[in-house]
Structure 1
Amino acid sequence: MKKIISFVLLVIGFAGNAQSNLPQSATDIAPLLIGEKIPNSTLKLIDGNAVSLKSVLDKKRTILVFYRGGWCPYCNLHLAALGEAEKELLDLGYQIVAVSPDAPKNLKVTEEKDKVNYLLLSDSNGDLAKAMGIAFQAPLLYKPVIAKGSDGVNNNFLPVPSVFIVNLDGEIEFEHITPDYKHRISNELLVAAAQSLKN
């Protein structure tokens, strides 16, 4: 009996550590670096169907964007701004893919509200954000809003807003990571980076 109790306590300890292994704040993250490969992950489309990230990245060079959720006004401004740069980026041979912890049904709300034409994907359990090294422990005041946004799946992490330019081999060629969620990469800088990498 003691062995069983010890084992249960050990498992609970590991589970607690797994959650606390997330960086404490946005400035403590250790993101993947230029030259490293984007890890494959199964995400969800707006219709709730699963999709392999690799199958998406294999199609075209990609502007891969991570945002906090459709509840974040700064994220909505950024998504709308990306929409304005989309034609230029498409003409350069890129696709835009934006990932958040939002549940598929909330991606649909964001798509309609921000008039987004590019692909939105759901990473509610945070597997991809954590593998990318950009997830951190959400402050307590955010927990209700992220739980609602993810339809109850996520109540402990936020992704640091990030933009990666990824080649057809899934390698990171450029990254812009902003622990201060109020500041995002400008379209001018993003398009300039995309143009320089294409040449």
Structure 2
Amino acid sequence: MTKKIFFVFTIFTFTLVSHIQSQVPEKAEDISPLLIGEKIPEAKLTDADGNEVELNQIIKEKPTVLVFYRGGWCFYCNNQLSGLAEIESEIIALGYQIVAISPDNYQNIKPTMEADKVAYQVLSDSKGQLIKDMGIGFKTPEKVHKYIFENTNKEATDVIPVPTVLVVDTSGGILFEYINPNYDVRLSPKLLLANLEVLKLEF
């Protein structure tokens, strides 16, 4: 009898936790991101050519600066992406690669890369599954839906990420993170490079 009750309680607890994790916050301030020391989940994303790629296979190649941005429609995101492009050679020299991810459709990736003069990998998480699994997604505000449609003539995704910069090792372990609900404040290239210098000592 006791074992049966314990089993039912375990199932109930698992279901409750799964339900809570599947909920998407209404506001950027209410996200619950993965923490330093945790591992990012495996994910299948889409590259600029429409090919499916596995994120864990990409990060196995070398430590990665993993950037989640809101979309090519976002002025602050474009500044961030172009800023990373300017220091990419320094990042590579330190032994890292850059991978940027957004909920944009893959067809929007090439225009963004061209506009921001980006050579590093930019991937699409158009369903927002990885963004939600990372705990950095929240419901796209109505004013953002309107802004995106008016400026791109495209419908916005239901979930957008809080702008996030992570440094992960080749196993996907999070070594560093910068997450700010205030979308117009981004991690400076200088501060990113300083942290990459320090983290490099651990490899």
* Same fold, TM-score > 0.5, yes or no: yes
Equivalent of residue 114 in structure 2, options 100, 112, 115: 112
Q: Equivalent residue for 2:77?
A: 75
Q: Match for residue 12 of structure 1?
A: none
2:136 corresponds in structure 1 to 134
| Alpha-carbon distance between aligned partners in 2 of 1:62 and 1:115, rounded to the nearest angstrom | 19
**Does the 8 Å CA contact 1:69/1:149 hold for their aligned counterparts?**
no
Whole-Å separation in 2 of the counterparts to 1:104 and 1:179 = 25
Q: Which residue of 1 aligns with 2:198?
A: 196
Task: Report if the CA contact (8 A) 2:47-2:122 is conserved.
Answer: yes
Cα distance in 2 for partners of 1:61, 1:119 equals: 14
- Show structure 2 runs of 5+ residues with no match: 1-18
Deviates more, 1:20-29 or 1:67-76: 20-29
Residue equivalent to 1:97: 99
Give the secondary-structure state (helix, strand or coil) at the position aligned to 1:176: strand
Which of 48, 51, 54 pairs up with 1:52? 54
CA distance in 1, matches of 2:125, 2:154: 12
Rounded Cα–Cα distance in structure 1 between residues aligned with 2:148 and 2:69: 12
**1:36–1:172 CA contact under 8 A, matched in 2:** yes
2:171 is the alignment partner of 1:169: yes
* C-alpha separation in 1, matches of 2:108 and 2:146: 15
Displacement of 1:53: 0.5
- 2:103 touches 2:157 (CA, 8 Å); kept in 1? no
TM-score by length of 2: 0.84
Q: Who is 1:21 aligned against?
A: 23
Query: SS state of the match for residue 65, structure 1?
Result: strand
Paired residues, number: 181
Deviations along 1:130-184, one digit per CA (max 9) or x if unpaired, are 00000001111112455797965x5321100000000011100000001000000
- Taking structure 1 as reference, are residues 61 and 80 closer, same or farther at Cα in structure 2, changes over 3 Å only? same
CA–CA distance in structure 2, aligned partners of residues 85 and 124 of structure 1: 27
Contact 2:42 2:55 in 1 (8 A): yes
Tell me if structure 2 keeps the 8 A contact 1:85–1:187: yes
SS in 2 for 1:175: strand
1:19-63 deviation digits (Å, cap 9, x = unpaired):
x92111111000000000010100000000100010111111000
Question: CA RMSD, aligned part only?
Answer: 2.0
Q: Secondary structure, in 3 states, of the residue corresponding to 1:31?
A: coil
Q: Distance in 2 between matches of 1:144 and 1:111?
A: 24
- Distance change in 2, residues 1:54/1:29 (3 Å): same
CA distance in 1: counterparts of 2:65 and 2:154, whole angstroms: 26
Q: CA deviation at 1:96?
A: 0.2
| Compared CA separation, residues 172 and 40, structure 1 to 2 (3 A) | same
- Other-structure match for 2:39: 37
Aligned residues of 1:86 and 1:96 also touching (Cα < 8 A): yes
Q: Percent identity?
A: 49
Gap runs ≥5 in structure 1: 1-16
CA distance in 1, matches of 2:84, 2:94: 14
